[in-house]
Chains A and B, each alone.
Chain A
Amino acid sequence: AQKVTQAQTEISVVEKEDVTLDCVYETRDTTYYLFWYKQPPSGELVFLIRRNSFDEQNEISGRYSWNFQKSTSSFNFTITASQVVDSAVYFCALHPNTGANSKLTFGKGITLSVRP
Chain B
Amino acid sequence: KAGVTQTPRYLIKTRGQQVTLSCSPISGHRSVSWYQQTPGQGLQFLFEYFSETQRNKGNFPGRFSGRQFSNSRSEMNVSTLELGDSALYLCASSLAWLAGGYSYEQYFGPGTRLTVT
Chain A contact residues, CB within 8 Å of chain B: 31, 33, 35, 37, 42-47, 50, 52, 91, 95, 97-109
Closest to B112 in A: A43
CB of B90 closer than 8 Å to a CB of A: yes
- A23 to B82 Cα, complex, angstroms: 33
Determine how close the nearest CB of chain B comes to the CB of A48; give it in whole angstroms: 9
List the 10 closest pairs (A to B, CB-CB), nearest first: A99-B99, A102-B97, A45-B108, A106-B43, A103-B45, A44-B110, A33-B103, A43-B111, A108-B42, A47-B105
Extra A-B contacts (9), CB below 8 Å, given A33-B103, A91-B43, A103-B48? A37-B108, A47-B108, A95-B97, A100-B55, A102-B56, A102-B97, A106-B42, A107-B42, A108-B42
CB of B106 closer than 8 Å to a CB of A: yes
- A47 to B103 Cα, complex, angstroms: 14
Whether B99 and A43, one on each chain, are in contact in the complex, defined by CB atoms closer than 8 angstroms, is no
Known A-B contacts A44-B109, A47-B106; the reply to A104 vs B45 at CB < 8 A is yes
Whether B56 and A52, one on each chain, are in contact in the complex, defined by CB atoms closer than 8 angstroms, is no
Whether A99 and B97, one on each chain, are in contact in the complex, defined by CB atoms closer than 8 angstroms, is yes
- A46 to B109 Cα, complex, angstroms: 9
- A91 to B105 Cα, complex, angstroms: 14
CB of B2 closer than 8 Å to a CB of A: no
Closest to A103 in B: B45
Closest to B42 in A: A108
Give the dominant DSSP class at B's interface.
Answer: strand
Whether B43 and A101, one on each chain, are in contact in the complex, defined by CB atoms closer than 8 angstroms, is no
Contact of A42 among B97, B100, B110 (CB under 8 A): B110
Contact of B33 among A44, A52, A97, A103 (CB under 8 A): A103
Ordered by A's residue number, 22 sampled pairs between the chains whose C-beta atoms are within 8 Å are A35-B105, A42-B110, A44-B108, A44-B109, A46-B108, A47-B108, A91-B43, A95-B97, A99-B97, A100-B99, A101-B56, A102-B55, A102-B97, A103-B45, A104-B43, A104-B106, A105-B45, A106-B43, A106-B44, A107-B42, A109-B42, A109-B43
- A95 to B108 Cα, complex, angstroms: 15
Whether A50 and B105, one on each chain, are in contact in the complex, defined by CB atoms closer than 8 angstroms, is yes
